[in-house]
């Protein structure tokens, strides 16, 4: 059985260069369309905020900040932008008038649904050229990378 030191090693300069080039090509090929048929563009944080609120109606800004690992002030700015665009609504729960519960407007829900559909389409295009075994390995490796604590 391989020891941890045998499995984990420092990447070579060549590996770093090849991965960087692959990521550059990947980002160009699988870029989420900016407009998604909408009149106003959203930055990535605003898109992620919409998706989080769509999946967690009634959540608070702190919940989003914790999930996205960004400062509360950053989420405050994002929710302000989304509310001004009519995509997000703020409500005060009866039990705690100091708290803020977030929900999507009808337009916000439609926008979140379009973003999720676009992400799914990108994922489908990424996985289509791979065999079922390659798909399983690719997903396993990406998941490992995402959850690795350094």
Residue 143: which residues within 8 A CB-CB, separation 6 or more? Answer: none
Residues 69-95, mean pLDDT to the nearest whole number: 92
Per-residue model confidence (pLDDT) at position 35: 46
Is the residue at 10 inside a domain? no
Is the residue at 22 inside a domain? no
Determine the distance from the C-alpha atom of residue 131 to the mean position of all C-alpha atoms in its chain, rounded to a whole number: 25
- pTM equals 0.78
Is the residue at 21 inside a domain? no
Is the residue at 85 inside a domain? yes
Query: For 100-113, how does the pLDDT look when each residue is reduced to its tens digit (9 = 90+)?
Result: 999 999 999 999 99
Determine the distance from the C-alpha atom of residue 15 to the mean position of all C-alpha atoms in its chain, rounded to a whole number: 26
Per-residue model confidence (pLDDT) at position 34: 56
Is the residue at 69 inside a domain? yes
Domain with 118, as residue range(s), is 37-147
Write the CATH number for 120.
1.10.10.10
| Structural domain total, the chain | 1
């Amino acid at each position: 059985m391989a020891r941890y030191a045998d499995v984990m090693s420092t990447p070579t300069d060549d590996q770093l260069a090849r991965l960087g080039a692959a990521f550059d090509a990947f980002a160009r090929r699988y870029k989420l369309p900016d407009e998604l048929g909408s009149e106003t563009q959203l930055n990535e944080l605003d898109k992620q905020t919409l998706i989080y609120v769509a999946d967690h109606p009634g959540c608070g800004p702190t919940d989003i900040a914790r999930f996205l690992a960004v400062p509360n002030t950053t989420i405050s700015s994002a929710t302000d932008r989304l509310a001004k665009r009519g995509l997000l609504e703020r409500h005060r729960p009866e039990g705690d008038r100091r708290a803020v519960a977030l929900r999507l407007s009808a337009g916000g829900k439609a926008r979140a649904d379009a973003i999720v559909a676009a992400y799914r389409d990108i994922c489908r295009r990424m996985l289509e050229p791979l065999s079922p075994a390659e798909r399983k390995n690719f997903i396993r490796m990406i998941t490992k990378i995402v959850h690795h604590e350094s």
